[in-house]
Amino acid sequence: MHFKIVSPSACVDIENIQLAQAQLERLGHTVSLGQHVFSQYRYLAGTIEQRIKDLKQACLDPNVDAVWFARGGTGAAMLLPYLDEWILNKPIIGYSDSTVLLNYVAMHGGMALHAPVFQEIAVKNLDNSPLSYDALKTISLLNTDQNKPQHYTLSSSNCFTQEQSTDEIQILGGNLTVLCSLQGTPYPLQLNQPSILLIEDVGEPYYRIERSLTQLLQSIDTSQLKALILGDFYQCPQKNVTQSMTEIVSEHLEPLKIPLYQCDWFGHGALNRPFWIGKKGKIIDSQLVI
């Protein structure tokens, strides 16, 4: 496959990008870098004009199979006013700050893969392999496993999971703080059809997570939210709070009778197993099937 690497968010770790490129090319893939992938403008990977130019060129290039975001951080939301149908041409890969682009693409019918960013794939969760398992699984989802149902283990976290429908419904989600930053803008997360929402976060204390959750629930159509799945809330300090994250979220979902699940296979921690956003999925026998 031919992967194009672009930096829509914060400036990158050059050595990690080059290492990932070398390792992926050793596996027989083609990796090309956007013109401004190593640019720096404040804490961003170049100006808005530079970042949107690289993204657009990658999506319009007929030789590119998928667009892989170099890293997250901050800045992707600045690109939203400049997007058009060209963003739907290729699968896009990323997470964290890329949540804004993933859900935009998903809500407009494109292909969005929540998965490790490129600068992580050769330095994180390697297990004696040149690339992480999550990176290899990302490639297989774009290639040989593209049309195979993927199964993701869940743990039931409230009583409403027993009433979960087995109908296939839309998958959305990503970083909670980033999602909340869009609410009230022209580009919010919208549940226009029955949906399962997956959320994760990093470094946010519990009170900020609860504040973000409150904002999100108050700004979406919760009648369309058929289940919420908690991923890894990595290095989120609990401080003096006695309740667990699951207990706090349950308090908000129980009056709405929304099923709550949790898992440890996606987020900013050691594991970040790829899954499609925008595709249809269902929860059956404590598994998310997409």
What CATH number should be reported for the domain holding residue 202? 3.50.30.60
Please write the tens of the pLDDT for every residue from 79-127. 999 999 999 999 999 999 999 999 999 999 999 999 999 999 999 988 8
Task: List active site positions.
Answer: 96, 200, 268
Contacts of residue 80, defined as CB under 8 A and 6 or more positions apart, other chains included, come to 100, 101, 104, 185, 186, 187
Tell whether 177 and 110 lie within a shared domain: no
Gap between the Cα atoms of 26 and 223, Å rounded: 48
User: Are both 123 and 221 inside the same structural domain?
Assistant: no
Rounded CA separation 163/253 (Å): 14
Q: What is the pTM of this model?
A: 0.96
Residue 92 structural domain = 2-142
Chain-centroid distance, C-alpha 14: 22
Could you tell me which residues are beta bridge partners of residue 213? none
Structure tokens at 83: 């997007």
Q: Are residues 50 and 111 in the same domain?
A: yes
Predicted confidence at residue 127, as pLDDT, reads 83
H or E element at residue 234: strand 225-234
Same structural domain for residues 136 and 165?
no
Round to whole Å and give the CA distance between 63 and 283: 36
Q: Based on the domain organization, do 21 and 77 belong to the same domain?
A: yes
Contact 113, 122 (CB under 8 A): no
Is pLDDT above 80 for 63?
Answer: yes
* 155 and 237 assigned to the same domain: yes
- 167 and 44 within one domain: no
- The residue type found at 35 is Q
Residues 69 and 59: beta-carbon distance below 8 Å: no
Quick one: pLDDT at residue 55? 98
Q: Which helix (H) or strand (E) holds 199?
A: strand 195-202
For tokens 């990690």, the residue is 16
239 and 256, same domain (yes or no): yes
Angle at 178 between CA 187 and CA 136, to 5 degrees: 105
Residues 38 and 94 both lie in one domain: yes
Considering the domain architecture, whether residues 159 and 270 belong to the same structural domain is answered as yes
CATH number at residue 102: 3.40.50.10740
DSSP3 helix / strand / coil % (the chain, rounded to 5): 35, 25, 40
Q: Which amino acid is present at 177?
A: T
Per-residue pLDDT at 147 = 82
Whether residue 166 is predicted with pLDDT greater than 80 in this model: the reply is no
Quote the DSSP letter at residue 148.
Answer: S
Last residue of a domain, one of 101, 117, 142: 142
* Range 1-15 average pLDDT: 98
- Answer yes or no: are the C-beta atoms of 181 and 289 closer than 8 Å: no
The mean of the pLDDT values for the chain is 96
The count of domains in the chain is 2
Straight-line distance from the first to the last Cα atom of the chain, in angstroms, rounded to the nearest whole number: 23
Q: In one letter, which amino acid is 243?
A: Q
Domain boundary residue, one of 101, 116, 142: 142
The candidate with the shortest Cα–Cα distance to 121, out of 139, 98, 99, is 139
DSSP class of residue 90? S
Contacts of 147 (CB under 8 A, 6+ apart): none
